[in-house]
Copies of this chain bind each other. A is one copy, B any other.
Amino acid sequence: MAENGFELETFLPYRLNRAAEFVALRFAAQYKARFQLTRPEWRTLAALGSSGRSMTATEIGAHSSMHKTKVSRAVFSLEQRRWLKREEDGRDRRFEHLALTPAGEQAYKELTELAKRYQAELLSTLGADDMEALATGLRAVERAMKKSVAGE
C-alpha cells in the first residue's frame, strides 16, 4: 500500500534489474548450450566483436558495466580459447589492446545469429511501439552513463 508516496512499481533500479534478469536468462541458456560461455564471457566477446576494433579491458568494462575483475577473468578465458589476443601498447605499457582472433570473430558471428533471432522474438512479444519506447529510455540511461564516466 502507498505508505508514503513511494511505489516500488515505479522504482527504476528494481524494475530494470528484474527486467534485465528476465530478458537475459533465456538468451544465456542459448549461448551456454552452444558454446559453454558464461555471461561475462559473452558480454566481453560482444563488446569486442561489435566494436570491430581492439579495446582495452577498462573500455570493455565501461561499455558493458562490468566490474574490472569480471572483465579480467573473461579476457583470460577467451584468450585460453584462442578467441582473443592481447597486444601491449608501445607508448604506455600499462595498456593491453584486446582483439578477437579469426576464430573469435567466427564465434561472434554465429552468436549474432542467435541474438538476432532472440531480438526478433522479443520484438514480437513486446510490440514495436513499446520496444521503441524502451529503446528511447535506455538511450537516456546510456547518456547518463557516459557523463558519469567523464565527470567524477
Q: How many chain A residues have a CB neighbour from B under 8 Å? A: 62
Q: Smallest Cβ distance from A67 to chain B, in angstroms?
A: 9
Rounded to whole angstroms, the CA-CA distance of A5 and B119 in the bound complex is 12
> What chain B residues lie within 8 Å of A135 (beta carbons)?
10, 137
A7 interface residue (CB < 8 Å to B): yes
Rounded to whole angstroms, the CA-CA distance of A12 and B19 in the bound complex is 10
Selected from B27, B130, B144, the residue in CB contact (under 8 A) with A126 is B144
Selected from B10, B11, B13, the residue in CB contact (under 8 A) with A20 is B13
Q: Report whether A11 and B115 are in contact in the complex, using a CB–CB cutoff of 8 Å.
A: yes
Q: Which of A16, A144, A145, A148 has the most CB of B within 10 A?
A: A16
Q: Which 7 A-B pairs have the closest CB atoms?
A: A134-B137, A130-B140, A8-B50, A18-B65, A1-B52, A6-B112, A16-B20
Given A125-B144, A126-B137, 19 other A-B contacts at CB below 8 A? A3-B112, A4-B113, A6-B50, A11-B115, A11-B119, A12-B119, A13-B118, A14-B43, A14-B46, A15-B138, A18-B64, A18-B65, A19-B65, A21-B65, A22-B65, A22-B141, A126-B144, A133-B133, A134-B141
